[in-house]
Structure 1
Amino acid sequence: MRLDVDNLACRRSGRRIFSGLTFSLEQGGALAVTGRNGAGKSSLLAILSGRLRPDAGKIAVSGVGEASLPECLHVVGHRDGLKSSLTAGENLTFARALLGAPHLMPAQALDRLGLGHVLDLPVAYLSAGQRRRVALARLLVCARPLWLLDEPTAALDVASQEVLALLMAEHRAGGGLVIAATHQALGLHDAMELRIDRAAPEVPAVALGADAEEWL
């Protein structure tokens, strides 16, 4: 899969949020989207997922046959998107049936996130960190090449952050793409950075050097 974004702009409530965003990702690529609060990081992910229409620019995807971009991606946003009255396993079973391209079984996905013991527990009983890990387990129950992650380490302890870094590395090693909006280190080695700054909105993605890899 290859993703090309050219001269993308976003307008919310009549106000230009950003413009001139350009980057490309090929198989195994990763992009860390950074910037201050309100700069438009979440809006960029919303545009890529198809939930928000861009004000200008083009998005092109290749290498996925006749599939559209929304059919090729997973989104983990600020909200976990879980049904509190359902168990962790039931939430993942629903996602697996809805999204298609089944991969791991719910129990297997939860095991990878260290949550095998909550399979039959209603999500309402889980802590914020556990809920976050259940949401991340959706990445594993269905195989989709592009992961869009909005502050994915929110509410995660250090051990869980390390597991997430491993999962992203495995996904990339298999040819998958990762785009993550973040304020924190994610373990995305050899990633590109796209900093959104309204004062200088046209900031192309650049490859980070070895010194920056430790931060990402």
Structure 2
Amino acid sequence: MTVSVHDLCVARGGVPILVDVTFDLAAGSALILQGPNGSGKTTLLRTLAGLQPPLAGHIEGCEDRIAYAAHSDGLKSMLSVQENLRFWAAVFGRSDIAPALDAFNLHDLTDRLAGTLSAGQKRRLGLARLLVTGRPIWMLDEPTVSLDKNAVQMFAAAVEAHMASGGSALIATHIDLGLRDAQVLDVGQFKASSDALAGASDEAFL
């Protein structure tokens, strides 16, 4: 099922920052969001993930199908690696964590408390959560932060496998992940004009 976004307007603090955003994300495909820091990539992802409402426009095909991963790894520090994955699997009504451990090479860390992991290990565990959700649409905000070259390759391979199984991914990133046939969407083309900013409510600045 395709995610379709039509004439979407997203805001930060009530101020429009992207307008008329329109694109399709088909099953089995990846779309890379590009643009400088502060250009609206995170706000767009949060809006698509249902964490904040759009000011205008339509989003189709996302309902209860998204796994969202942002800057926080979403881990419980006093739970082990396997306990964290089992917790998240249970949240989504699932139980098999083996594919997640395999994809991010976490088997040797299964009994380690998440709070004792390095930044890169925490990020790998945080991304491994995606595989236990069973959700077909991954929306990811700078997922490779803290990852070394080998771990970036693990992540790219996980995304490729997800697409091969019919899943899709929308990823905000500054690096080339080497994903086959991935399309690029520069959010700069949707930047709100000065007229849109001038029309924002004064409450946005309070």
For residue 67 of structure 2, what is the aligned residue in structure 1? 74
Unaligned runs of 5+ in 2: 193-206
Give the distance between the partners of 2:7 and 2:99, measured in 1 at CA.
41
Instruction: Decide whether the 8 Å contact of 1:108 with 1:116 is kept in 2.
Output: no
Give the TM-score normalised by the residue count of structure 2. Answer: 0.88
Write the distance in 2 (CA, Å) between the matches of 1:112 and 1:31. 21
Deviations 1:17-58 (A, max 9, x none): 111110001111110001011111111110111001001110
CA distance in 2, matches of 1:86, 1:107: 17
Amino acid of the structure 1 residue aligned with 2:128: A
Matched, 1:55 2:55: yes
Q: 2:191 aligns with which of 201, 204, 216?
A: 201
Aligned-residue Cα RMSD (Å) equals: 1.5
Please give the secondary structure, in 2, of the residue aligned with 1:184.
coil
Deviation, structure 1 residue 11: 1.5
Q: Matches of residues 2-13 of structure 1 in structure 2 within 5 Å?
A: 2-13=2-13
Gaps of 5+ in 1: 62-68, 203-216
Determine helix, strand or coil for the equivalent of 1:197: helix
Report the counterpart of residue 22 of structure 1 in structure 2: 22
After superposing the two structures, state which structure 1 stretch, 6-15 or 52-61, moved more: 6-15
Equivalent residues, number? 192
TM-score of the superposed pair, with normalisation by structure 1:
0.84
Q: CA deviation at 1:108?
A: 4.1
**Separation in 1, partners of 2:184, 2:100:** 29
Residue identity (%): 42
User: For each residue in 1:151-204, what CA deviation from the matched residue of structure 2 results, as whole angstroms up to 9, or x when unmatched?
Assistant: 111111111111111111111111111000011111222111111127x528xx
| Per-residue deviation, 1:107 | 4.3
Match of 1:138 among 129, 138, 162: 129
One-letter amino acid matched to 1:16:
P
Q: Tell me the distance in 2 between the aligned counterparts of 1:118 and 1:92.
A: 12
Contact 2:11 2:43 in 1 (8 A): no
Q: How far is 1:82 from its partner?
A: 0.7
Deviations 1:86-116 (A, max 9, x none): 111111111001122x37x334422321111
**Which residue identity is paired with 1:127?**
S
Q: Which residue of 2 aligns with 1:115?
A: 106
Q: What aligned pairs does 1:123-162 form with structure 2 within 5 A after superposition? A: 123-162=114-153
SS for the counterpart of 2:188 is: coil
One-letter code aligned to 1:116: H
Matched letter for residue 41 of structure 1: K
Q: Does 1:96 align with 2:89?
A: yes
- Which amino acid in 2 is paired with 1:149? L
Q: CA deviation at 1:70?
A: 4.6
Please tell me whether residue 85 in structure 1 is matched to residue 75 in structure 2: no
Instruction: State the SS of the aligned residue for 1:71.
Output: coil
**Rounded Cα–Cα distance in structure 1 between residues aligned with 2:43 and 2:168:** 19
Larger radius of gyration: 2
